[in-house]
Structure 1
Amino acid sequence: MNDSQIIQLINEGNQEYYGELIQRHEQKILVFIHYMLKNNSSMEVLAEDLCQETFIKAYKNLNSFRDKEATFTTWLYTIARNTVLSELRKSKNKGQYLEDINIIPKTEADELPEYKLLKNERIHLVREAINTLPETQRMAIILREYEQLDYKQIGEIMDCSVSAVKSLIFRGRSAIKSKLEKYIISGSE
Structure 2
Amino acid sequence: MAAALPRLCALALPFLAVAACLDVPSHGTPKLTNKCGHCKNKLDFGKEFVCCSDCSDPTILIKHSKMGYCKSGAELSMQLKPHEIYHWVAGPWMKCSSPCDGGVRYRDVACYGNLSDATIKHYPVDDASCSADEMPARQEACNEQSCGVDMAEQTNSRKNGMSGWLVALILLLGLGAIGGIVFTSYTYYLRRTSGRNGFVYVMMEAYS
Q: TM-score, normalised by structure 2?
A: 0.19
Instruction: Identify the structure with the greater strand proportion.
Output: 2
Instruction: Identify the structure with the greater helix proportion.
Output: 1
Q: Which structure has the larger Rg over C-alpha atoms?
A: 2
RCO (CA 8 Å, sep 6+): is it higher in 1 or 2?
A: 1
Q: TM-score, normalised by structure 1?
A: 0.20
